[in-house]
Homo-oligomer: A and B are copies of this chain.
């Protein structure tokens, strides 16, 4: 580990590590449920120390960690495959497309990375229970990591979450409270719960280490890419925390003098859940009205990390694009057929976006383009079923005499 401060991304004020836990107290005064978070904290390391101590020959990634490894739960996350997918790229006219398949985390989504670090923090703070709201993946990840760490997960989740995600969290032994309402309702209820009952709240962006945990996917891409920066990374965006985490990885690497430029970050939203997209395009924020997309993991009305996500895209000279549910399901099929990777709908959104970007002039056909696959298709088999047909069974012909 390296020493660090928390810095408020709204007002810029700095805090010592244990002086604050969630949002910047000054800015959080203006926060009320119903708008994106204000006062989200960002971890600011001693980058001079990292620069002095980091060696590419034997990289010590704990230098970039905001929790000491001794507190890590016994639940290995990350180290997921990063590899070129020539056939997929060629299908859309791009020559150098890569996948980072983060569906191969233990609970089958990238969210394991955030839960891992927040549970490590709970271990350090000796907090017995960890509370979250989630569209499904963050909750099943938290439940899994808590099981491994011997801690109690308390989970608020929309009752409409895919069955597989609900089964996961219950099986891992979490206390699950399905909510007859949206993710935004669950978010609010979980905040009320921790205010009343205590425990550590893991809500995404609300706890700053969710961003730090998700950051590790960016560090891995950098390392697996031979310590080079890809030209562009396409990221599915719901509440804006994953894209903020990817941004933070390259921000840290640049601040530590390891890289000279950021990859362009491309925000991919579902056409029916576009709050961050519009915010990036217009500079004016507005909640998404009645988000309803088959890509449940990115179906959000009030994206908690809207401000940081917008900055991530603008600072990296990236852009934003939306894709329809139909395009997403087609992208899911194309991804499976060309690469053998089965992604959940949200995770297939970057594939749909790549198809749409063909010939649009926003990505060069020779650039190195990374598609971030955030969750496994087995998380939501029914969604995939809607675009395929399982053939009828044939009777087995009788065994011929030898």
Interface residues in chain A, defined as those with a beta carbon under 8 Å from any beta carbon in chain B: 32-34, 74-76, 79, 81, 83-87, 101, 104-108, 143-148, 150, 159, 163-164, 166-168, 170-173, 176-182, 185-186, 188-189, 192, 332-333, 336-342, 376-379, 381, 384-385, 388-397, 399-400, 402
Contact = CB atoms under 8 A, between A and B. Distances in A.
A168 B379 CA distance: 12
B178 A339 contact: no
Given A147-B339, A178-B391, 10 more contacts: A33-B402, A74-B85, A79-B79, A147-B336, A148-B339, A159-B393, A170-B390, A171-B342, A178-B390, A180-B395
Contacts of A171: 332-333, 336-337, 342, 377, 384, 388
B79 A74 contact: no
A337 to B, nearest CB: 4
Contacts of A173: 336-337
Given A337-B147, A340-B75, A341-B106, A180 B402 contact: no
Given A79-B79, A176-B390, A164 B381 contact: yes
30 contacts: A32-B402, A74-B83, A74-B339, A75-B339, A75-B340, A79-B79, A87-B150, A108-B378, A147-B337, A147-B338, A147-B340, A148-B340, A163-B381, A164-B381, A168-B377, A168-B378, A170-B390, A170-B391, A171-B332, A171-B333, A171-B337, A171-B342, A177-B394, A178-B391, A178-B394, A179-B394, A179-B395, A179-B396, A378-B378, A378-B379
Contacts of A81: 76, 79, 106
Contacts of A106: 81, 101, 104, 340-341
A172 B336 contact: yes
Contacts of A338: 147-148
Nearest to A143: B340
A34 B398 CA distance: 12
Contacts of A79: 79, 81
B389 A172 contact: no
B391 A176 contact: yes
Nearest to A30: B402
B342 A170 contact: no
Contact of A376 (B144, B185, B336, B378): B378
B340 A396 contact: no
Given A76-B83, A340-B75, A390 B167 contact: yes
A144 B378 contact: no
A342 to B, nearest CB: 6
Contacts of A185: 396
Nearest to A150: B87
